[in-house]
Structure 1
Amino acid sequence: MEDPQRFGAEPAAVRETDHYQAEYIQSFVEKWDELIDWDARADSEGKFFIDQLKARDKHTVLDVAAGTGFHSIRLLKAGFSVVSADGSAEMLSKAFENGRQRGLILKTVHADWRWLNRDVHGKFDAIICLGNSFTHLFDERDRRRALAEFYAALRHDGILIIDQRNYDGILDVGFDSRHKYYYCGDQVVAEPEYVDDGLARFRYQFPDGSVYRLNMFPLRKNYTRELLFEAGFQRVSTFGDFQETYQERDPDFFVHVAEKAYE
């Protein structure tokens, strides 16, 4: 059987950061918005990210995991100045097209987080890294390097907003997602087909029968928080499905708001 995503004979052995380039093939990217369902996702998250940015008086935003442009476009419409970056050229092309269809011209940059400041210039009030994207980094050195690049691209009082799946729940209890907040496309099945402490392999099946997979590193919540503090961030607030209070196993996703400024 043809393997366009190049996982090979032992897909659970694929644990390299750079493999994401082979995973986001054009046919998968074209279906990505079916998975997200922009209208349903906008309804579910409300103005959470807009409110977090406005509450801290942030104006310039670097979206380092722009994907097909959902958050970049929402922030542009809300009046923010946005630069949209992604490691996948296919995703950036789709994001630009999505922006143009909505009367917007996205400022796009093809950039790898590990060398972010080589390709993205200037300082930003805020960086957003959303859509469970940080879990594409399999090597701890890559994670630390990326966070250092994010930190350096922020102004002295900048913030980083980064999200992740609730991998603690998946690893400790099992997968039980209501897809209420993130992957809202009700005709798409998105679930893990293999999980261990170093790999969460997700399978996505679309209404036409097509199937794609993504390999991700299952970041535990407290580990991510520790990395953020060790990168230099002074305060980290963690939300469960956009709520400040939550039961650890309940949320589908965690959102970390990391602040650079000293008290």
Structure 2
Amino acid sequence: MADAKATAAQLTEQDYGDDPLKVRTTDTYQNEYVQSFVEKWDELIDWDARAESEGDFFIEALRARGAKKVLDVATGTGFHSVRLREAGFEVVSADGSAEMLAMAFENGRKRGHVLRTVLADWRWLNRDVHGKYDAVICLGNSFTHLHSDRDRRKALAEFYAALRHDGVLILDQRNYDMILDDGFKSKHQFYYCGDNVKAEPEYCDDGLARFCYSFPDGSQYHLNMFPLRKEYVTRLMGEVGFQNVTTMADFQETYRQDDPDFFIHIAEKLHPDER
């Protein structure tokens, strides 16, 4: 793992070998977020547009559950970590990409915050991240970087262990059900708000969703992810031990939204006496 991270830090271009569609392992993410891609990530996100589109959804969801100490396990370039800090939460920012964490730290510094960053692989999260948290957030479709059922179960168990009793996990994902069953038709409203930036699947089957990210300067990057079905994720959460799993769609209740771009799962870790 350490060697892979060191190699990733030296890469300037993505390399999927002779057949990119055969690259279906969790460790792939370590070489996908090359420096040049990370430097363009905020063009894709557009912090101001994304803040406007999602409003205070996550802030309100955390406050409603009494959360104060939050572990952001998919920090990326720091968007949610910074927003939560500005809203008064105590935040620890973790990610598996050293390049992303460096960018997050710099983004935080520009906004007057010193982020507490930790480089951590979710499968061994509690080895590197210490203490207990009121909430764990895993946002930005990041959970789909895990390509095996075993890795997903291990990661969820690590999230569960990092929470206090009565803690909450908030995890989002693309609507892969729609992509697999009906094809891709993103409204590009909520999560990726950058102007003239495209994030679309080049290929998708039951075991791989290969997305292409195209930028105005003509550059392109890819991510190989696993197309998670919504019911699978909610069932997995329950099997790991989470209770009261609620799923929202594009920041709304699912039954009010047709063909949402994203699902947001909110799962509770209840005290044994409350189950």
With the length of structure 1 as denominator, give the TM-score of the two structures.
0.98
Which amino acid is the alignment partner of residue 187 of structure 1? Answer: N
Structure 1 residue aligned with 2:174: 165
Distance 1:128 1:210 in 2: 30
Aligned 8 A contact 2:12 2:34 in 1: no
Pairwise CA RMSD: 1.2
1:10 aligns with 2:19: yes
Q: In the alignment, which of 185, 190, 201 is matched to residue 181 of structure 1?
A: 190
Aligned 8 A contact 1:166 1:249 in 2: no
Distance 1:34 1:233 in 2: 35
Q: Please list the CA deviations of residues 220-243 of structure 1 after superposition, one character each: whole Å capped at 9, or x if unmatched.
A: 000000010001001100000010
Distance 1:218 1:254 in 2: 13
Structure 2 residue aligned with 1:239: 248
Q: In the alignment, which of 193, 202, 220 is matched to residue 202 of structure 2?
A: 193
Which amino acid is the alignment partner of residue 62 of structure 1? Answer: L
Q: In the alignment, which of 148, 151, 154 is matched to residue 157 of structure 2?
A: 148
Distance 1:257 1:9 in 2: 39
Unaligned runs of 5+ in 2: 1-10
Unaligned runs of 5+ in 1: none
Aligned 8 A contact 2:13 2:36 in 1: no
Q: Tell me how far 1:4 sits from its aligned partner.
A: 2.1
For the residue of structure 2 that corresponds to 1:12, the secondary structure is helix
Distance 1:77 1:58 in 2: 15
For the residue of structure 2 that corresponds to 1:186, the secondary structure is coil
Q: In the alignment, which of 243, 246, 260 is matched to residue 251 of structure 1?
A: 260
Q: Tell me how far 1:187 sits from its aligned partner.
A: 1.2
Q: In the alignment, which of 67, 91, 103 is matched to residue 94 of structure 1?
A: 103
Distance 2:45 2:107 in 1: 13
Q: Tell me how far 1:178 sits from its aligned partner.
A: 1.1
Q: Which runs of at least 4 in structure 1 moved beyond 6 Å after TM superposition?
A: none
Structure 1 residue aligned with 2:223: 214
For the residue of structure 2 that corresponds to 1:161, the secondary structure is strand
With the length of structure 2 as denominator, give the TM-score of the two structures.
0.93
Structure 2 residue aligned with 1:61: 70
Distance 1:46 1:19 in 2: 32
1:73 aligns with 2:82: yes
For the residue of structure 2 that corresponds to 1:162, the secondary structure is strand
Q: In the alignment, which of 92, 115, 124 is matched to residue 106 of structure 1?
A: 115
Compared CA separation, residues 3 and 29, structure 1 to 2 (3 A): closer
Compared CA separation, residues 174 and 14, structure 1 to 2 (3 A): same
May I ask how many residue pairs the two structures share in their alignment?
262
Q: In the alignment, which of 38, 42, 45 is matched to residue 33 of structure 1?
A: 42
